Amino acid sequence: MYNKPGILVVSFGTSHQDTRARTITAIEQAIQDAHPSLPVFRAWTSGMIRRKLERTTGEVIQSVAQALSQMADQGITQAILQPTHIIDGIENQQMQADANAFRNIFQKIAFGRPLLSSSEDLEKMAQILEHTFSGLGPEEHLILMGHGSQHPSNQIYAWLDDCFHQQEHNHIHVATVEASPTLDDVLQKLRTQPVRRIHLAPLMIVAGDHAVNDMAGDGEDSWKSTLERAGYPVTCHLKGLGEYPQVRQMFLAHLAKALECLKR
């Protein structure tokens, strides 16, 4: 039983066990290592993935409401939720709504911010990715695949794209699977530039279904296939953002600010 704060790490989830270990689990472990005296719990927002995992592996992962109920049962009196979401979109706001239903159960509830929540976050992310892909040769371009959302916070992806170009990294582009900017938007820009090779990498916490299939898959609608039909040689990098130590540090910084809120 705990009479202290508890941390709930909230992720969308993934059924890809290999990338999960390197991303979601690595973030959870980094948080536990940074706060060894606090209990750390896990929740996933995707009911579809939770049900698939239970059906295929037998593992049961809790929803936000289930995890908060467990925390309360164990005597946690102050809950800090740290999402591993990229933006403050639909999944993140549903997490907040689910947690706010517990306001009368916990003394305090605080939220850490998603990964990209400020201009400072965008600059840090741009620096991380610029450094990671600093070895690209002349006329080699990088396209980052974001998920995209119909939520207004989707504009974060366009802002990150602008951030690269403002820093004169005009060979790095951001596109999304389900919103804007799109791959077609990037292709329009590339047609006016000399391009020797295109590199693709996920702008997602895990290199899951979108990265493996929609980005790097051999299907005719994948980004890789689309770009190859347009005449570009393509190299795919299946590394989720959660694998980057610097990204995990960004989440730790957001969590630290949430913990400060509990002291007010």
Catalytic residue chosen out of the listed positions 16, 85, 141, 147: 147
HSE of 231, CA atoms in CB hemisphere, 13 A: 6
Tokens standing for residue 99: 């947690």
Say how far residue 136 (Cα) sits from the centre of its chain: 24
147 given a catalytic annotation: yes
Q: Are 126 and 174 in contact (CB under 8 A)?
A: no
Residues forming the active site = 147
